[in-house]
Structure 1
Amino acid sequence: MKRTNGQIKHVSLYHYNEIMQHYFKYYKFQGGYHLSQLFCSEIQRTIRKMNVEVAVPIPLSDVKYSARGFNQVEAWLGTDYQQLLKRVHQTDSQSKRTKWERINSSNPFSVSTHQPYPKECRICLVDDIYTTGTTIRQAYEVIRQAGYRNICSLSLVHA
């Protein structure tokens, strides 16, 4: 599925359904790190087809990372990504928010002070689930403010 949301070109590989709900339950919430392997190749292949120079995973809050022990998006990307984004404040889980609360939430991201890539490079924001697009828009906004202009995004699923 391809969407253009304003200036953001977004690709989702699957639709969120009951099977994906079970996958994420075991993968993210029950410590199923090994389940990352199910989609690694497909996600990495899609990023290569998008002619992306830098894959940027959406970062987790420190609280979520400590509880989970891994970032689910980084696990799909292996070692081929950059931590261009960081979370500057913690937010509640998106799944616990209403659509209105998601859309109107403050931006939890900033761009890392270490930016080794030229502003012309093609960046792909990578997230797990695209629901309202708020997370991608917020990440896009701070990367744009840092001077990057060639930005797209990818998620495993869309709701």
Structure 2
Amino acid sequence: MLSDEEMRRIEEEELAVARARQAEEERARHQLALHAYREEVRAVLLPQKAPGWRPALWLLPLLAVLAGVLLLRPAPAGSDDTSGGIATSALLDRCREEVGTRLGQPGLRFPGPREAAGQISANADGKRWDGWVATPGNSRTDFSCSFTAADQSVQVELIQEEKP
């Protein structure tokens, strides 16, 4: 059998080992708590990770501006057709001048170039513009303006006058 002194010494050794084990476990728990707290602090301090689509957000205003530019820009003017021996723009200028001379009124309003281009027909002998002109008194006069390629002449025929 063991003496009382040996039993006390063994109990003290085991108690010291148990206390050392408990202190080591306490240190490990403390280290884990420190590590967890550091991770929380880092998560708060670091910028949030953006979702995958977020970098493309700058494209939205760019697409809106691009769509606005494409939708609001004027359509390109048609080419100046030179069939019939004269360019369409030259025919319009000469006919406007001749109609203005025939009517003798200032402030005549002719259709725009696109609308007028739809009223023009051409053949091998020349071009013809069957159009209209509005006067300042809001009356409208239809006319026919013919260009002859052979002698480069313009003839205007006033067809009818419509009053409002």
Bucket of the pairwise TM-score, normalised by the shorter protein: under 0.3
Which structure would you say has the larger RCO, counting Cα contacts within 8 Å and 6 or more residues apart? 1
* Between structures 1 and 2, the one with greater helix share: 2
TM-score norm. by structure 1 comes to 0.20
